[in-house]
Amino acid sequence: MDFTVETATDAVVESFRQTKGQRLRQVMESLTRHLHDFVRDIEPTTAEWEAAIGFLTAVGQTCDDTRQEFVLLSDVLGVSMLVETLNGSDEGTESTVLGPFHMTESPLRELGDSIDLLGTGRPCVVSGRTLAADGTPLPDTELDVWQCTEDGFYDVQQPDVQPQGNGRGLFRTDDQGRYWFRTVVPSHYPIPTDGPVGRLLEATGRHPFRPAHIHFIAHAGHHRPVTTHAFVAGSPYVDSDAVFAVKRGLITDFTESYEEQEAERFGVTVPFTHATFDIVLAPEAESAR
């Protein structure tokens, strides 16, 4: 059969017929159909297709041990959040993207410790509980936390300014599932724009900003781990996150507190900012038991 615009898709799908793995065959068939439909739809010139290949090549060449431009591309196209959402559970706290700044192991910390190693910002306390879907507290949950500074930078972006581990902590909830730590209120910030993904945003008139947030990964026995964020209510870009990760239930009030007793309990002085963020973990999937 001649290779024509009309027969192309069947020819390529047929070439994958012998694929041993059923899932791989399904993936390659669907990829072929969608990719061919896309090409038939936009009818690229040869020069445009070369530019597309050049773009993907540049994305790959921008990746190294500490930079993952393909993940960033997946993020700005909404694919990372689509995959997260498809795999999330209806029962627990909603999940969001991991992002590229969870690249170092967070330092072990005690409940109440400060993750702000600079000590120059206005004190903020973040506290909450980890709970099962029926409301039972989950003691001994491992909570990995990371965030940027008040100026919008992660420690790994400013190795000469911030000590390693600044803004990061690995905590365990107490016997009532509670956690609390001291920090500063993070800022909104731009995702890295000095690579091909930044050029794509620029060319399409999109801004690169993420609303202010704190990242969490929670792990407890017999429950599905969750990767999520607490978003700072009222932050710029909360309605237009460059990576589409905001879910309404994750928007958290960071309020000014003058409560002397609370301040004493948390080891800060008034006024301080206080945010409460509970994390609900769904039961482990049947197949994982």
Q: Is residue 56 helix, strand or coil? A: helix
Contacts of 201 by beta carbon, 8 Å cutoff, 6+ apart: 76, 193, 207, 208, 242
Q: Which of 193, 238, 211, 244 is nearest to 67 (CA)?
A: 193
User: Could you tell me the smallest distance in angstroms from the CB atom of residue 241 to ligand BEZ?
Assistant: 9
Nearer to ligand BEZ by C-beta: 243 or 263? 243
The listed partner (ligand BEZ, Fe ion, none) that binds 97, CB under 5 to 8 Å by sort, is ligand BEZ
238 binds ligand BEZ (CB under 6 A): no
User: Could you tell me the smallest distance in angstroms from the CB atom of residue 97 to ligand BEZ?
Assistant: 5
Distance CA 92, CA 85 (A): 12
Q: Report which residue type is found at 72.
A: L
75 binds ligand BEZ (CB under 6 A): yes
Outline where DSSP puts E strands in the chain.
124-132, 142-147, 168-172, 178-183, 189-190, 209-210, 213-219, 226-232, 251-252, 254-257, 272-276, 279-281
Distance CA 256, CA 270 (A): 9
User: Could you tell me the smallest distance in angstroms from the CB atom of residue 200 to ligand BEZ?
Assistant: 13
Binding footprint of Fe ion on the chain (CB under 5 A): 99
User: Could you tell me the smallest distance in angstroms from the CB atom of residue 74 to ligand BEZ?
Assistant: 9
The listed partner (ligand BEZ, Fe ion, none) that binds 73, CB under 5 to 8 Å by sort, is none
101 binds ligand BEZ (CB under 6 A): yes
Contacts of 14 by beta carbon, 8 Å cutoff, 6+ apart: none
Element spanning 73, H or E: helix 69-76
Nearer to Fe ion by C-beta: 132 or 155? 155
- Among 73, 243, 275, 280, the residue binding ligand BEZ under the rule CB under 6 A is 243
Segment contacting ligand BEZ by CB under 6 A, of 53-61, 93-101, 178-186, 268-276: 93-101
Task: State whether the Cα torsion 245-247-248-252 is positive or negative.
Answer: negative
Binding marks (x or -) toward ligand BEZ, 152..191, rule CB under 6 A? ---------------------------------------x
84 binds ligand BEZ (CB under 6 A): no
- Among 182, 210, 247, 274, the residue binding ligand BEZ under the rule CB under 6 A is 210
DSSP state of 65: T
Cβ-closest residue to ligand BEZ? 99
User: Could you tell me the smallest distance in angstroms from the CB atom of residue 37 to ligand BEZ?
Assistant: 28
Encode 44-83: b = buried (16+ Cβ within 10 Å), e = exposed: eeeeeeeeeeeeeeebeebeeeeebbebbbbbbeeebbee
Segment contacting ligand BEZ by CB under 6 A, of 6-14, 94-102, 251-259, 262-270: 94-102
Q: Which of 125, 191, 119, 123 is nearest to 153 (CA)?
A: 191
- Among 69, 73, 81, 99, the residue binding ligand BEZ under the rule CB under 6 A is 99
User: Could you tell me the smallest distance in angstroms from the CB atom of residue 101 to ligand BEZ?
Assistant: 4
User: Could you tell me the smallest distance in angstroms from the CB atom of residue 68 to ligand BEZ?
Assistant: 9
Distance CA 222, CA 202 (A): 45
DSSP state of 137: B
Query: What residue ranges bind ligand BEZ (CB under 6 A)?
Result: 72, 75, 97, 99-101, 191, 210, 243
